[in-house]
Structure 1
Amino acid sequence: MNLPSTLSPRNVLVALVSLPALYLCFLLYRAGDNWIALALLLIVCLGVSIYLHPRAETYRYLFPGLFAFAVFVIFPICLTIYISFTRYSASHLLNFSDVLLRFREEVTVSGSDTFTFSLFDQHNGTYILELTNEQRPDEQFVSSPLELIPGQDGSPLESPIHLTRLAAGQQVPGTRLDQGQVTRSRLYQPLRNVPFKLPGDIGVEKTDLQHFIPANRVWKLNADNSLTNQIDGSIIRPDFHRGYFFNQNGEQIGPGFRAFVGFANYVQIVTDPRIQGPFFRIFVWTLVFAICSVIGTFSTGILLAVILEWRELRFRKLYRTLLILPYAVPGILSILILKGLFNQEFGAVNQLMRGILGFAPAWETNPWAARAMILLVNIWLGYPYMMLICTGMLQSIPSTIYEAAAIEGSNPVLNFFH
C-alpha cells in the first residue's frame, strides 16, 4: 500500500525533530525565558518551511551550517557585547525579578507548631486547603476555594488568604487528594506562593512537601519597587546603576542584580588601575598568542609539506601518515596526553630535558614557560591542517614549471619563494 504524501519519510523526519523543539519552546516560555523561546520558535518555523517547501531545496543544505554558525558564533558575540554594557559578575548573577522574589520569600518563624495539609479537589479548577496541627490534631483550619495551576511557580501573592477554624464534625467538601496525587500533579508549587493567615493574624508558610509552619513574610513590595520591612518598618530601594538594594543609611542589603550601566565598564578599563593593568596584559597576550599560533602552524605545515614533496625522500607516504595523526586524533585526547607529557615533576618532556640538558622548565608555575607550552600544544594541534592545505597547493603546481626554472638556473630556495 502506498503511503499518502503527508506521511513521506521527509515529513515524518521533520515532525520528529520539530515537535520536541516546539515542546522545548513551551517549557522555555513557562520558565519565563520569553526571548529564548521566541528565537527558538522562529528557528523551528524557518527550518520547517525550508525542508517542506519545494522551492527551498537549495537552502536545505545551507540551513544546518548557518544554524550552527548563528548559535556558536553570532549568538556568543551578541551576548558578550550585551553583557559588556551591564553590571554582570559573580555578585550580580540574578536579574531584578529574581532578587525581588528572594526578598519576598524571606520569612520569620513565629511559633513551634507544625501543620500537615490536605487538598480537596472541587472539580472546577479550584481546591480547598485543610491544615491540621500536628501537636493538637483537633485544631483544623480550612481555606475558601483556591485557584491553583499545577506546576506554576511565580511571584508570591501580596494579599494573604485567611483560614477559618473547622468546627468539630464538619466535613470539607470535595475529593481529598493524597500526597502522591499532589506531588504528581505538582500542586505543591503554587502553594509556596500563597500566604495564608490563621485566626489571630498568624501567618503560615509552606516549608516542604508535607508541612506548613507559623511564619510571616518579612518584606512587602511597594508600587515603586521598593520593599518595606514589615517587622521594623524600614524601607530598602533598588539602585539600578550599582545593582543592589540600599536602606536609608546607604547600607547594601541582599544579593546584587544585573543592571544596565552603559559605557561604564569601558570607562573603567581605561581609568581603574586595578583593571587597566591586567586587562592590557591579557589583551596583548591574546594578540601574541593568535599571531604566533598562525605563524607557527603555517610555518611548520608548509615546511613539512615541502619536505614530503621531495621526490628523493624515501618512505614519504609513511611519514605523511604519521605526521597527519594529530589531525586524526580528537583534540581532547591529544590535550590530555600532552598534559601528562608536560607534567612538571613526572612528565616525559621534563625527564628527557633533565637527562640531556640538566634542567627542566617549570611549565605549570612559571608564566612564560606556561605560555610557551600552550603555544607548542596549539602548534601541534594545528600544523596538520596547514600541512594538508600546503600539500594540495604544491601538488597543484605543474612539474613543467619546475623544469623550466631548472633550465633558467633556479635553485630550491628561489623555487619556494617564486
Structure 2
Amino acid sequence: MLTHALSSPVVDNKRPMTKAVFKWAAVGAVLLLALYLTVALYAQNQTAFALLFLVVIGSAAYIFSSPKAYAHRYIYPSIAGMVAFIIFPLLYTVGIGFTNYSASNLLSQERVLEQLLSQRFQTGEERYDFKLYPTDDKFVMRLESPAGESWASAPFSFSELQNNALAVAPAEQAAPDAQPLAIKDVIKLKEDLKSLSVNIEGGASLSLAGLRNFAPMQSLYGLRDDGSLVNQQTGVVYAPNQDIGFYEGPQGETLSPGWTVTIGWENYVQVVTDPSIRGPFIEIFVWTLAFATMTVLFTLAVGLVLANILQWDQLKGKGFYRMMLILPYAVPAFISILVFKGLFNQNFGEINLVLENLFGVRPDWFSDPALARTMILIVNTWLGYPYMMLLCMGLLQAIPRDLYEASAMDGATPLDNLFRITLPQIIKPLMPLLIASFAFNFNNFVLIALLTGGAPDIIGATTPAGTTDLLVSYTYRIAFQDSGQNFGLAAAIATVIFILVGSLSLINLKLSKIKV
C-alpha cells in the first residue's frame, strides 16, 4: 500500500508531461511547415501572401497552444476567414490601386530585363534547315544551306553539351538510315534547341530561328553599365524610367513589356480629372444608385402587395398561389435571366411579337439606353419580389389584428391601413434587409453580364463603358475586357465602390435609427 501511495503521484505527473510534449511537438511541426511555405511564397516574390500566411498560422499556433488565449480558439476560425477572404483582398485591392499594374506592366523589372535580353534578331539572310536523327539515347544534327552544302554533328545529348555549344563539320557521309524527328517531337525539344549554339567549322555561330532552321542570330538588346539597354540593330538607347515602369527611348518611345511601379494617386486622380473617364463614371454611378434604389422599391411594393393578398381570409387556395409566386425565387437566377434575354429579343422575342400584333410597335430593348434600363428593372423586379414577399408575409403575421378591426370601425380604406398600420409596423424590422438588398443590387454583376453585357456603349468613353453598366461590371470590363487590362485603374474604382456602398449603407442605418 505504501509503495502504491508513493508511486501514484509520479504516474499522474507523467500524463500532463506527455500531453505537453505532444502539444508542443505538434505546434513546432506546424510552425516549421508554415515557415517553409512562407519562405517558398517569398521566394516567388509573393511577399504579401507570405506575410498573410505567416500571420494566420502564427496567430493560430499561439491561440491553440496558450492557456491565456483559450477562449479565443472558438472564434478564431471565423476571424481568420474574415482576415484571409475579406480584409486581405480589400487591402490588396487598395494597394493595386496605387500602382500601374496592367497587362503591359505585369512583371517585375528583373523579369522584364530577362525577357528583353532574350530577344534576338537575324544578322544574315541565310537560313540553314536542320534535321535531328535519333541514335540510341543521343541525336545527330544535320544542317543544309540554301546552296545545298551539308554539315553534320557527332552524336550528342543536350545534357552533356558544354556551354550548350554544338560543333558541326562538313558532312562526309549520307544521312543516317533512321527517320528524322517529326515536327511534334522537335516541338518537345524546343527549349533545348533555343539554348543551343551551333558552330559551323570555320564559319558562323547559329541559333534557332524557327522550328525547322537555324540562322546567324544576335541579341537584340545589350545591357550597359548604367542599367540602360541599347538596341544593337539600330543603336537606340533605352533608359529605365521608374515613374512609368518602362525602358524609354530618347523620343519617348517605350519597350514592352513594362514592370509594375507605384504611381501614387494617379489612378484616383484620373477618375476625377480625365473627362473621357469622369463622364462615364458619373453616369454609371448615377444609374447604379438609381437601379439599386428602384429595385428595392419595386420589389418591396410587389412583394408587400402580394403578401397582403395572400393574407386575405376570403382567398381560396392560398397554398397553391403561395407556391406559384415563390417559384421565381426557386429557379436559378442565371436561367431566368437567359430566358428573359430570349423573351426581349428585338427580332424574335415573344414580347415584341405580342406588342407588334397589339400596338404595332417593336421596341429596341437592347440598343436604346432607356429601354435597356427599363428591361433590366423589369427582370430584376421579377427576380427579387419573392424574397420581399416572404419577408413581408412573416412580418404581417406579427401585426395585431385588433388594429385592423379598429380601423375598419373608423371607416378606414385599404390604403389607409397600408400607410398608417402596415408600413409603420414592418418598416423598422425590414430596414436592415432593405439595406442589404440595396447593397447586393448595387453590385449585381450577374444580371448585367448575362442580360446586356453593359450595352449599349457610351459614346466617347476611352474605357469600355456602357449605359447599362453598373460600377461593378464597369470595373470588370476595365480589368479584363479592355485591351490594356488596366488592373490598377480597376482597383481604384473598386475601392471607390467599397467606400460609396459602405457610406450609403451607414447613412441608411443612421437614418433608420438602427444601432451599429
- TM-score normalised by structure 2 residue count: 0.56
Q: What is the aligned partner in structure 1 of residue 207 from structure 2? A: 205
2:143 paired with 1:133 = yes
Say which SS state the counterpart of residue 270 (structure 2) adopts. Answer: helix
User: Aligned partners of 2:196, 2:41: CA distance in 1, in Å?
Assistant: 26
Q: 1:86 and 2:91 equivalent?
A: no
Deviation, 1:256, is 4.6
Do the aligned partners of 1:132 and 1:138 also contact (CA within 8 Å) in 2? yes
Which of the residues 94, 110, 113 maps onto 2:128?
Answer: 113
- The answer to whether residue 310 in structure 2 is matched with residue 297 in structure 1 is no
Note the alpha carbon deviations across 1:292-344, whole angstroms, 9 max, x for none. 22222222222222222222222222221111111111111111100011112
Evaluate the alpha carbon distance shift between residue 144 and residue 179 of structure 1 in structure 2; reply closer, same or farther with a 3 A threshold.
closer
- Report SS of the residue matched to 1:364: coil
Q: Note closer, same or farther for the CA distance 1:201–1:108 as it changes in structure 2 (3 Å cut).
A: farther
Are 2:132 and 2:181, in contact at CA under 8 Å, matched by a contact in 1?
Answer: no
Give yes or no for contact 1:195–1:203 (8 Å, CA) kept in 2.
Answer: no
Which structure's relative contact order is higher, taking Cα pairs within 8 Å and 6+ residues apart?
2
CA 307–70 in structure 1, closer or farther in 2 if over 3 Å, else same:
farther
- Partners of 2:73 and 2:42 in 1: CA distance: 35
Aligned residue type for 1:317: G
* Alpha-carbon contact 1:141-1:198 (below 8 Å) kept: no
- For 1:121 and 1:61, locate their aligned partners in 2 and report how far apart those are by CA, in whole Å: 58
Question: What is the alpha-carbon distance in structure 2 between the residues aligned to residue 370 and residue 208 of structure 1?
Answer: 51
Which letter maps to 2:46?
Answer: N
> Unpaired segments of 5 or more residues in structure 1?
1-21, 123-127, 149-159, 170-177
- Report the equivalent of 1:100: 113
How far apart are 1:253 and its partner, in Å?
3.6
Change (3 A) 1:161 1:218: farther
Alignment of structure 1 residues 348-367 onto 2, 5 Å:
348-367=350-369
Contact 1:88 1:258 in 2 (8 A): yes
Equivalent in 326, 329, 337 of residue 328 of structure 2: 326
Gaps of 5+ in 2: 1-33, 172-179, 425-516
Secondary structure of residue in 2 paired with 1:350: helix
After TM superposition, the structure 1 = structure 2 runs for residues 368-379 of structure 1, keeping only pairs within 5 Å, are 368-379=370-381
Letter aligned with residue 422 of structure 2? F
Distance 1:329 1:162, change over 3 A: closer
TM-score when scaled to structure 1? 0.67
Distance 1:141-1:218 versus aligned 2 partners, 3 A rule: farther
In structure 1, C-alpha distance between the alignment counterparts of 2:402 and 2:77, rounded to whole Å = 40
Do 1:115 and 1:213's aligned partners in 2 also have CA atoms closer than 8 Å?
no
Task: Name the one with the larger helix percent.
Answer: 2
- Give the percent of matched residue pairs that are identical in Structure 1 and Structure 2: 36
Q: Considering only aligned residues, what root-mean-square deviation do their CA atoms show, in Å? A: 4.9
* CA-CA distance at 1:38 after TM superposition: 4.0
Tell me the SS of whatever aligns to 2:128.
coil
Q: How does 1:22-41 map to 2 (within 5 A)?
A: 32=44, 34-35=46-47, 38=50
C-alpha distance in 2 between matches for 1:164 and 1:360: 73
Aligned to 1:196: 197
Q: Return closer, same or farther for 1:30/1:197 CA change in 2, 3 Å cut-off.
A: farther
